[in-house]
Chain A
Amino acid sequence: MNKYLERLYNGLIKENPTLILMLGMCPTLAVSTRAMNGIGMGLSTTAVLILSNLVISLLRKVIPDQVRLPSYIVIVASLVTVTELLIEAYLPSVYDALGIYIPLIVVNCIILGRAEAYANKHTPGLSVMDGLGMGLGFTVALTLAGLLREFLGNGSAFGYRVLPESVEPIGIFVQPPGAFLVIAFFIIIMNAIGIKTRQKKLVSVDGCDGCCAACATPCEKAEEGGAQK
């Protein structure tokens, strides 16, 4: 497999950011009430991720190592602002549905995580493919979660009613608790069929919460703090 396609496969399946790496849980839980919201959020994040990977990869020899995280944050925040204004102007219905979660793409662990783990070490071409793969992986996971919640909680798929009117949907699934339940089901199924997730990191490392790449403090500091207890 050529290495560009390999990045796509890696992002979509092997290291799926949501399902395997368990990054970016906030937007996953928050916007997955409808399948369409999942697609909207996923594609907005993909756009930001591709561009931020490209810019950071191009600037990887220019940005000094000590100030790289603040620089990445400024780059990502600028791209998110541009994306937000574009969505507000051209897709007002998506803008209304996603609301505050669009500007919050800035603090999505996936974006800073990929900048730190991939884009600052690889060529622009590969970084763009990595962003595309990771973004699509995120989109697929969000849409799946959205589809399941919409089906169970509202009896519809992509806005079209699929269950007969006589079947009462389980309303709790489109409410906040449903988000936690659906993600828990996903992980239980993957555990049961033996797909390894990196969830250990999510629940066990104290202080460092799996957002390591995005947190400005190196992990040793957190471990040191943990050891003092």
Chain B
Amino acid sequence: MKSLILIIVGTALIHNVVLNQFLGICSFLGVSQQMKASASLGGAVIFVITIASAVASLLYNYVLAPLGMDYMKTIVFILVIAALVQIVEMFLKKNSPAIYKALGIYLPLITTNCAVLGVALTNVQNGYGFWESVLAGFGTAVGFTLAIILLAGIRSRIREEDLPAPLRGAPIVLISAALMSIAFMGFAGLSF
């Protein structure tokens, strides 16, 4: 039990996927313009990464590893993730239009979000079993959502400020991200 909680805290805060591992930077910088969009993307990411880690873990532990084909993992994972996103999208469209409308456009973007593939590969590297993988995926996605929502909040304040011209646009966002990253380094002191 304790180790499972540690996995969630570790993936969400200590090794935050964006601020510490640098995965999913594209959407972190690209979508953090508005709070609402960030929250929707976060929701979609939690959904997809959790399912993707579960499926990737099952596939690796019960298909690829027994057959001795673990060198195929990159190809298999990326295809599974792409297919999964399509299936999730179709399923939501048919069965729960409300969620689909909220997450809709962000779902396909997630296919190329390196965080999804990154989590699946990290789980394999750490030798996680099924539940550990699911929790690690969930924790990572929560960490992503936390970071992107915080950045969206900061950016809504920055927009009102009178910045020197060369700092406008990407640089100030990157500097904000750097400061967030410094703050998150404080979590490294969390020990159980």
Contacts and interface: CB of A to CB of B under 8 A. Distances in A.
B169 A107 contact: no
A25 B104 CA distance: 25
Interface in B71-89: 71-75, 78-79, 82
Interface string A128-147: 00000000000000000000
B108 interface: yes
Given A73-B82, A206-B37, A183 B174 contact: yes
Contacts of B71: 81, 85
Interface string B14-39: 00000111111111011101101100
A209 interface: yes
A206 B33 contact: yes
Nearest to A200: B169
Given A77-B78, A180-B177, A30 B21 contact: yes
Contacts of A92: none
Contacts of A180: 174-175, 177-178, 181
B134 to A, nearest CB: 19
Contacts of A185: 171
Interface in A54-68: none
B108 A103 contact: no
Contacts of A85: 71
A187 B170 contact: yes
A41 to B, nearest CB: 12
A225 B117 contact: no
A26 B26 contact: yes
Contacts of B105: 207, 217, 221-222, 224-226
Interface in B25-72: 25-27, 29-31, 33-34, 36-37, 71-72
B90 interface: no
Contacts, number: 170
Interface residues of B, number: 55
Interface residues of A, number: 62
A100 B74 contact: no
Interface string B146-171: 00000000000000000001111111
B43 to A, nearest CB: 14
A45 B58 CA distance: 30
Contact of B165 (A183, A191, A208): A191
B114 interface: yes
B140 to A, nearest CB: 13
Contacts of B79: 70, 73-74, 77
B191 interface: no
A176 B104 contact: no
A187 B169 CA distance: 10
Most buried by A among B111, B112, B168: B112
Given A100-B118, A191-B169, A225-B104, 5 more contacts: A77-B74, A100-B125, A184-B175, A207-B105, A209-B31
Sorted nearest first, the 5 A-B pairs with minimum C-beta distance are: A209-B30, A225-B105, A180-B178, A184-B174, A191-B166
30 contacts: A26-B22, A26-B114, A81-B75, A103-B74, A103-B121, A104-B23, A172-B182, A177-B181, A177-B182, A184-B171, A188-B167, A191-B166, A202-B30, A203-B170, A205-B30, A206-B30, A207-B30, A207-B105, A208-B109, A209-B31, A209-B109, A211-B30, A211-B109, A215-B111, A216-B111, A216-B112, A221-B108, A222-B105, A225-B105, A229-B34
